[in-house]
């Protein structure tokens, strides 16, 4: 991914959508990947209901899939991890800092988990989602 392709055109979250994002982040940070997946799925559905831009909907779907990827990694589901790695790359490549998280570093880490499928040397519970400063979040 080149720096020139970084996508930063995403609206800031407010109200219920912000609460859903934050709940998902809290669950994700605690290694409760299934619950993060559920929180973000509610956010994804809210975006679809209000006809949000496709890029935002796909971004959220990519984040849901990262939670599923880590859950599959914990369960040592090689095929699931590999399939989700491809899907995550299709949806998250090109994003920089979004809603307080460093998406490019997150995607790098998901690719490492993808490569670890079948080896199982990485610990999904030890993964920490990198944040970016509020200044990097949005202009």
- The structure's pTM equals 0.89
Does residue 135 have a pLDDT over 80? no
Looking at the domain assignment, is residue 31 inside a domain? yes
81, part of any domain = yes
Among 133, 137, 101, residue whose Cα is nearest residue 10: 137
pLDDT tens digits for range 65-124: 999 999 999 999 999 999 999 999 999 999 999 999 999 999 999 999 999 999 999 999
Residue given tokens 């998902």 in the structure block: 24
In a domain, 2, yes or no: no
Asked if residue 122 is part of any domain, the answer here is: yes
The answer, yes or no, to whether residue 35 has pLDDT greater than 70, is yes
Structural Rg of the chain based on CA atoms:
14
Taking the C-alpha atoms of residue 12 and residue 130, their distance in angstroms, rounded to an integer, is 18
In a domain, 22, yes or no: yes
The CATH number assigned to the domain holding 129 equals 1.10.3450.10
Per-residue pLDDT, 33: 97
Strand partners, 102: 97
Does residue 4 lie within any of the structural domains?
no
Q: Which domain range does residue 87 map to? A: 12-137
Residue 7 lies in a domain: no
Residue 6 lies in a domain: no
Give the total number of structural domains in the chain. Answer: 1
């Amino acid at each position: 991914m080149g720096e020139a392709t970084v996508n930063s055109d995403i609206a800031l979250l407010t109200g219920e959508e912000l609460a859903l994002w934050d709940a998902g982040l809290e669950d994700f940070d605690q290694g409760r990947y299934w619950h993060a997946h559920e929180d973000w799925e509610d956010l994804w559905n809210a975006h679809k209901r209000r006809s949000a831009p496709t890029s935002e909907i796909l971004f959220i779907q990519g984040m849901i899939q990262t939670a599923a990827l880590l859950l599959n990694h914990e369960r040592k589901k090689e095929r699931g991890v590999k399939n989700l790695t491809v899907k995550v790359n299709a949806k998250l490549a090109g994003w920089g800092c979004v809603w307080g998280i460093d998406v490019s570093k997150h995607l790098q880490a998901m690719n490492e988990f993808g490569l670890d499928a079948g080896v199982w040397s990485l610990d999904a519970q030890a993964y920490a989602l990198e944040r970016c400063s509020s200044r990097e979040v949005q202009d």
